[in-house]
Amino acid sequence: MPARPRPSDDPQRPTAPAARSALRGSTARRSVGLIWRGLRAHPRTYAAAIGTSALFGGLTVVVSRVLGAVTDQVVVPALAGSTEAQGRIWLAGLAVALVALLLALTVAARRVLAGIGVADIQADHRRAVTRQYLRLPMSWHRRHPTGQLLSNAGSDVEAATGVFNPLPFALGVVVMIVAAAVALLRTDVWLALAALVVLPLAVVANLVFQRRMTPAITRAQQLRAEVADVAHESFEAAALVKSLGTEDREEERFSDRARELRQANVRVGVVRAVFDPVIDLLPNLGTLLVLLVGVHRVAAGAIGTGDVVAAAYLLTLLAVPVRAFGWVLGELPRGLVGHDRISRVLDAGEVPVDGATPWAATTPGAGVRMRDVRLSVPTAEGEVELLRGIDLDVAPGRTLAVVGPTGSGKSTLVGLVPRLVDPTAGVVELDGTDVRELRPADLAAQVGYVSQSTFVFEDTVRGNVTLADPGDEGAPGDDEVWAALAAARVDDVVRALPDGLDAPLGERGANLSGGQRQRLALARALVRRPRVLVLDDATSAVDPRVERAILTGLRSDDDATGPTVLLVAYRMASVLLADEVVHVEAGRVVDRGTHAELLARDPGYRELATAYERESQRRVREQADEEATDVWDDEVTAGGPR
Amino acid sequence: MSAADAPQDAVRDGRMAPASTLGVLATLRRAAQVSPELLEGLTLTLALAVVAAAARVLVPVAVQQTVDTAILAPGGADVTRAAALVGIAAVGLAVGAACSALVNVRLFRSSEAGLLTLRTRAFRHVHDLSVLTQNTERRGSLVSRVTSDVDTISMFVQWGGIMLLVSVLQILVATTLMAVYSWQLTLLVWACFVPLLVVLPRMQRGVNRRYAAVRERYGAMLGAVSEAVVGAETIRAYGVAARTQRRIDGAVAATRRAMVRAQNLVAVVFSSGVLVANLVLAVVVVAGTWLGVAGDLTVGRVLAFLFLVQLFTGPVQMATEILNELQNAISGWRRVLGVLETPVDVAEPGDDAVPSPRGPAALTFQHVGYAYPGGPPVLQDVDLQVAAGTSVAVVGATGSGKTTLAKLVARFMDPTTGAVLLDGVDLRRVASTDLRRRVVLVPQEGFLFDGTLTQNIAYGLRDEAAALGPDLPPHVEARVAQVVEELGLDAWVAELPAGMSTSVGQRGELLSAGERQLVALARARLADGDLLLLDEATSAVDPVAEVRIARALRELARGRTTLTIAHRLSTAEAADLVVVVHAGRVVEVGTHTELVARGEHYASMHAAWVSQTR
């Protein structure tokens, strides 16, 4: 499929809440913000990680000191023939070994802690992002491709946290750099200047790097998400691809994107390929500079040979922390891009406000009312009105059939009741209260909704019906589940499964037929004993006889004690089960009344209701004509018996 | 890749192999086979890397030389000599840096080229697998095999690969230099690392297992997230966000745990490298002093050796680190290779392929039986003859096996017993290009791509319009418009906000189920097969539209064979032949009139239907 126009950033509300996720300000400020937020989220882990890292920095200096002391006090005298020093060799070895052990321990501790820190921050991000997915309305979901959302929770989180891997090391060894700088300054100012000139150069190199890297990384992360997107869509379409034999085309589509990703990755790589050797080169050049300046200072008699060697050694020690900073800085552009992509989800300002009014289940059915309900959706082509002023009143316990041509807004209309969307104007009321004011838990408990296309979770049959874990408060018991399955006429199918209620249903319920999936979804709604049942063409794949049994079963207890039912249907059998019918066309109510009334006075409805009948009659007529023609043909051509 | 060279244990009842079971070296070899680009130009890259590695010893040598020959020069510090030495070293460093930049760029290019091949081949193989095999793996998890698993490898090849190369070379250079100063101490240093070399592979295997667990948990987590995203509507309507979140949280926590477990072991491995490296210093101090006392070494040489040891241990530590990363990459590689190793159980015919030319298609079922892997039989002993050009309606209760019948004709799977024949040829001997060209299936819930109506319908043109961009060529648009008109869908399209340019949204979710079916039908019509399989393809369409479409399809399908799984018996009334399926068997075959007259299964179904519709 060709490149789709991607929705740009979500419109952000001007007055955003204080706890926004997006980082603002200059790149430097955003970088500091990114790091600071991570550290603040897990202060103890990072305090310990940076502490052990500082300890490591200190111990590295100690190793060099111990080596120096051992050389001066043991090695040199021993080789000079001191037997006392020769006796101390073992002691010297032991001292070095002891420091080595401590060093290794700090390394292990730092790495363990750094690992925990990164894992924790990743888990934080993933929890936050997925929470937001579950909060955001359907209108938002429809605008955002699945692959994109998967990559927000996957690779973008990894990108945003990559910087935290080398961070404790880099921060901890600041101690080392400061100690080294102080030691150098105390030796000789010129020598110190020669050595430390490396640091501003490193900063400049990093700035140049950042500027080149950020756009390259942004592009690469975007393409990574697009590759995931194409793969996801294409794999979801696997059956279509197979049946049309368009594997080559899909491969082309995927490899186009993958090729672009390769180019973007190579572009990122080239920038890094140059940056890394430069960052490695700087401390080495610093050492050479120290040598040069050192020779001058020795010649001037300002310092001794040992001072030059010590300064050179310190700089080689500094090479590692400077590189660690390079790693942090190298990861920052990617981290900021990843963070921005996550923030776009977290800051999406469309989270519907939850109502707080409790809704008590007083009667078996609830009253449903819509007052001048309008719904417009923004599209690339401008605002489109899907519902154009709907007024509707359904008394508790009544069944209303919603009938109309394909695409007339029936699904949108009934979707307002479970709040899949909120109207742009007008009010939807349940028992006289605006649905937006009702507590979501009450709404979900008392409104059962079965959609056209059933979504089956990768779970057991029981889990798919109850949508709860065993032992959850208010989770229906097995008896209730079986009762709901029986009411939906799918109990025999489940009974035939090897594990019954515990039988796992594959991803998206792949091992059930379309009709079985629909009936399972019906059971899912029925087990909740809803007071309003919304069936959006939910029985289309169910055999007519089964459907009738299910629908009459709902009302069998006693006519008026069942739930209020809103029913989108094409079958006249289903429609006939309704007390009343509303005929919808192009987002408006055309007429409302009993089936018989509409049949008598509404021509559009009559056409829908009698389509099959008329078709059968037409066919009978046609057949009669054909036979007549055949007879005529036979007579004319005097052909033999056919 | 053929099934033949896949390891036997990857062949498990049509399931997707979770990961390849090859060893580390075998995995790398296999990876190089799959993406030969990885090895392209490696010789020059290696040569450049040797120069880059050699440049790494320049600084210590320069320090030693400057101190010994310039600062401590007889007659006071020799500034000119120092400047010359430093100048030479600086030039050397610059050359080294240039070389390593070149090495980096070259490795980037070759690895990204290789990974592109790997990605694309794995993607293609997923599509080549049978529908059953595809369904054994979550979609999110499949996606991670062509995205994040490959990214893991990419990270390694780019950073680890370069560092590993440079480190190994540096170890060699350092060893040579050390040997110049003292071969005894050099042997000793190497000996110190022997225990590490023994223990390391075992630990690496542990690291490998733990990284594999990370990849697996990660895939499962993406699966859980994808369920929450795709099932958003259901989750919202049932107010089960909290439970869904609990499940995701569980998967996130499991991923976190797996990561921490892997990283802890890596920390142990890495720090044991640090430990050995620093213990070596102690050993050198003790042994060097003894050798010195014995008169084999001078003070200067012992001190120089101490310096060199650090040149040696640095890259050794780096190498252990990279080997850890390698494990991560290997598990990514194994998961991608696992896809390629998964055998295609609905295989292409080999030399026994029989050409299947276009034209009216006759269909035969010979004693066909089918059972899903590990399940009871869904179809048993089905015998059926469909002459070319016939329209057949298949009716029966839900779950009676109607859809399986259609899937067998589309060769989504092969029958467990018997055979399905197209024009007298077993489908197993028909090349898939021929089969797909001739047999077109429209399922109940057809998939729509995120694009416009026109783009989705034009998809039916298949490869003819392979290069479909956002702007379709006029002749394609014209054909799409023609099909829409033929099926009588123009009135519906006119009602849409942007007509044929209306975006359908992801999976077509901006349209209703019925509208999606209309698009799928138009697409199938454009695909223009000889045998059209309609599996409840108009179940969500309003009666007026359905009748209109059925009539249009009948007109258009004259001379073609159609097999319709019917949910409404109006289809059966109009069909040339009605097939009644009951509990996996064909129980009645005949025309509508014949079967009504017979007064059995079909007659009672029809009577019930008529009473409901009129």
Does the structure show a pLDDT above 70 at B465? no
| Contacts of range A600-609, beta carbons closer than 8 Å, 24 or more positions apart | A605/A403, A605/A581, A607/B544, A608/A403, A608/A404, A608/A405, A608/A570, A608/A583, A608/B542, A608/B543, A608/B544, A609/A403, A609/A572, A609/A575, A609/B543
Domain boundary residue, one of B311, B341, B371:
B341
Which single residue is written with the structure tokens 């990894």? Answer: A158
pLDDT one-digit tens code per residue, B188-207: 888 988 888 888 888 888 88
pLDDT score at A630: 65
Residues 80-99 of B with CB under 8 A from A: 82-83, 85-86, 89-90, 93-94, 96-98
Q: Establish, for the pair of chains A and B, how many residue pairs have beta carbons separated by less than 8 Å.
A: 555
- Distance (Å) from the alpha carbon of A230 to chain B's nearest alpha carbon: 9
Query: For residue B115, what is the nearest residue in chain A, using CA coordinates?
Result: A262
Neighbours of A301 (CB within 10 A): 9
Where do runs of H (alpha helix) occur along A426-498?
A: 440-446, 461-466, 478-487, 491-496
Is A97 close to B282, i.e. CB distance below 8 A?
A: yes
Is B79 close to A134, i.e. CB distance below 8 A?
A: no
Distance CA A279, CA A281 (A): 5
Q: pLDDT higher for A612 or B590?
A: B590
Same domain assignment for residues B274 and B417: no
Q: How confident is the model at residue A508 (pLDDT cuts 50, 70, 90)?
A: low
Quick check: A258 and A227 in contact, CB under 8 A?
A: yes
- Cα radius of gyration (chain B): 35
Distance CA A422, CA A8 (A): 23
Same domain assignment for residues B320 and B381: no
Same domain assignment for residues B121 and B269: yes
Q: Is residue B370 part of a domain?
A: yes
What's at B210, amino acid-wise? R
Query: For residue A110, what is the nearest residue in chain B, using CA coordinates?
Result: B267
Same domain assignment for residues B330 and B431: no
Q: pLDDT higher for B307 or B499?
A: B499
Dihedral sign computed on CA atoms, order A107, A111, A114, A116: negative
Quick check: A385 and A587 in contact, CB under 8 A?
A: yes
Burial of B103 (0-12, 13-18, 19+ CB in 10 A): buried
pLDDT score at A5: 38
Q: How confident is the model at residue B464 (pLDDT cuts 50, 70, 90)?
A: low
Lowest mean pLDDT among A205-209, A305-309, B487-491: A305-309
Q: How confident is the model at residue A641 (pLDDT cuts 50, 70, 90)?
A: very low
Query: What's the token pair of residue B499?
Result: 């007509």
Average pLDDT over residues B15-31: 81
Dihedral sign computed on CA atoms, order B451, B455, B461, B465: negative
Does the structure show a pLDDT above 90 at B344? no
DSSP code, position A237:
T
Q: Is A27-346 a domain of CATH 1.20.1560.10?
A: yes
- Distance (Å) from the alpha carbon of A30 to chain B's nearest alpha carbon: 25
Same domain assignment for residues B98 and B222: yes
pLDDT score at B470: 63
Residues from chain B that touch A613, judged by Cβ atoms under 8 A, are: 613-614
Lowest mean pLDDT among A563-567, B407-411, B535-539: B535-539
Where do runs of H (alpha helix) occur along B294-416?
A: 299-341, 402-409
ipTM above 0.95, yes or no: no
Q: Is residue B347 part of a domain?
A: no
Query: What's the token pair of residue A183?
Result: 């030691």
Query: For residue A246, what is the nearest residue in chain B, using CA coordinates?
Result: B462
B190 vs A: CB within 8 A? no
Same domain assignment for residues B225 and B318: yes
3-state SS assignment for residue B369: strand
DSSP code, position B68:
I
Is B136 close to A441, i.e. CB distance below 8 A?
A: no
Rounded to 5°, the CA angle A554-A561-A530 comes to 60
B293 vs A: CB within 8 A? yes
Same domain assignment for residues B404 and B466: yes
Nearest to A447 by CA among A475, A469, A419: A419
pLDDT score at B10: 35
Domain ranges of chain A: 27-346, 368-609, 610-642
Quick check: B35 and B117 in contact, CB under 8 A?
A: yes
Count: domains in chain B:
2
Q: How confident is the model at residue B612 (pLDDT cuts 50, 70, 90)?
A: low
Residues from chain B that touch A111, judged by Cβ atoms under 8 A, are: 263, 266-267, 270-271
Q: How confident is the model at residue A8 (pLDDT cuts 50, 70, 90)?
A: very low
Is B279 close to A100, i.e. CB distance below 8 A?
A: yes
What's at A172, amino acid-wise? G
Show the domain range for B238. 15-341
Distances (CA, A) of A313 to A280, B52, B68, B279, B282: 16, 22, 15, 20, 19
Average pLDDT over residues A326-350: 86
Average pLDDT over residues B447-459: 88
Average pLDDT over residues B263-276: 88
Quick check: B267 and A108 in contact, CB under 8 A?
A: yes
Does the structure show a pLDDT above 80 at B236? yes
Rounded to 5°, the CA angle A364-A368-A372 comes to 175
Average pLDDT over residues B109-132: 91
Beta strands in A500-594 (DSSP E): 532-536, 564-568, 580-585, 588-593
B275 vs A: CB within 8 A? yes
pLDDT one-digit tens code per residue, A35-76: 999 999 999 999 999 999 999 888 887 877 787 778 778 887
Q: Which CATH number fits domain A368-609: 3.40.50.300, 3.40.605.10, 3.30.1860.10, 3.30.70.2610?
A: 3.40.50.300
Lowest mean pLDDT among A436-450, A556-570, B412-426: A556-570
Q: pLDDT higher for B610 or A296?
A: A296
What's at B118, amino acid-wise? L
Query: For residue B314, what is the nearest residue in chain A, using CA coordinates?
Result: A320
Nearest to A276 by CA among B162, B320, B156: B162
Average pLDDT over residues A489-502: 86
Same domain assignment for residues B37 and B163: yes
Residues from chain A that touch B495, judged by Cβ atoms under 8 A, are: 407, 586
3-state SS assignment for residue A39: helix
Average pLDDT over residues B565-581: 85
Is B229 close to A146, i.e. CB distance below 8 A?
A: yes
Distance CA A12, CA A440 (A): 25
- Distance (Å) from the alpha carbon of A344 to chain B's nearest alpha carbon: 16
Is B134 close to A153, i.e. CB distance below 8 A?
A: no
Query: For residue B498, what is the nearest residue in chain A, using CA coordinates?
Result: A381
DSSP code, position B359:
S
* Partner-chain residue, chosen from A104, A134, A141, that has the shortest CB–CB distance to B245: A134
Same domain assignment for residues B394 and B283: no
Neighbours of A626 (CB within 10 A): 11
Question: How many percent of chain A have pLDDT more than 90?
Answer: 23
Residues from chain A that touch B161, judged by Cβ atoms under 8 A, are: none
Residues from chain A that touch B449, judged by Cβ atoms under 8 A, are: 1, 233, 237
* Partner-chain residue, chosen from B109, B135, B518, that has the shortest CB–CB distance to A266: B109
Query: For residue A548, what is the nearest residue in chain B, using CA coordinates?
Result: B612
Average pLDDT over residues B325-333: 83
Query: What's the token pair of residue A140?
Result: 């938002």
Q: Is residue B154 part of a domain?
A: yes
Does the structure show a pLDDT above 70 at A13? no
Average pLDDT over residues B70-95: 86
- Of A120, A149, A150, which to mutate for an interface test with B (greatest number of B Cβ within 10 Å)? A150
B604 vs A: CB within 8 A? no
Looking at residue B549, which CATH number applies to its domain? Answer: 3.40.50.300
pLDDT score at A369: 93
Strands B425-426 and B417-422: antiparallel
Average pLDDT over residues B475-486: 89
Same domain assignment for residues B385 and B292: no
What's at A346, amino acid-wise? L
3-state SS assignment for residue B299: helix
Q: How confident is the model at residue A541 (pLDDT cuts 50, 70, 90)?
A: low
B510 CB contacts (<8 Å, ≥6 apart)?
A: A142, B502, B503, B504
Which single residue is written with the structure tokens 């090897």? Answer: A498
A602 CB contacts (<8 Å, ≥6 apart)?
A: A583, A590, A591
What's the length of chain A?
Answer: 642
Neighbours of A439 (CB within 10 A): 15
Is B283 close to A93, i.e. CB distance below 8 A?
A: yes
Query: For residue A102, what is the nearest residue in chain B, using CA coordinates?
Result: B275
- Distance (Å) from the alpha carbon of A76 to chain B's nearest alpha carbon: 6
Is B239 close to A616, i.e. CB distance below 8 A?
A: no
Domain boundary residue, one of B285, B310, B341:
B341
Residues from chain A that touch B502, judged by Cβ atoms under 8 A, are: 379, 381
Lowest mean pLDDT among A557-571, B367-381, B589-603: A557-571
Same domain assignment for residues B303 and B392: no
Does the structure show a pLDDT above 70 at A635? no
* Partner-chain residue, chosen from B221, B264, B281, that has the shortest CB–CB distance to A96: B281
Residues from chain A that touch B245, judged by Cβ atoms under 8 A, are: 130-131, 134
Nearest to A485 by CA among A512, A508, A447, A506: A512
pLDDT score at B415: 93
* Partner-chain residue, chosen from B59, B113, B135, that has the shortest CB–CB distance to A316: B59
Q: How confident is the model at residue A7 (pLDDT cuts 50, 70, 90)?
A: very low
Same domain assignment for residues B321 and B368: no
Residues from chain B that touch A247, judged by Cβ atoms under 8 A, are: 124, 127-128
Query: What's the token pair of residue A319?
Result: 């090479």
Q: Is residue B346 part of a domain?
A: no
Distance CA A182, CA B396 (A): 89
Does the structure show a pLDDT above 80 at A622? no
Neighbours of A382 (CB within 10 A): 9
Q: How confident is the model at residue B322 (pLDDT cuts 50, 70, 90)?
A: confident
Backbone phi, then psi, for A500, in 5-degree steps? 60, -125
Q: pLDDT higher for B1 or B314?
A: B314
Looking at residue B337, which CATH number applies to its domain? Answer: 1.20.1560.10
pLDDT score at A633: 62
B65 vs A: CB within 8 A? no
3-state SS assignment for residue A384: strand
Distance CA B41, CA B83 (A): 38
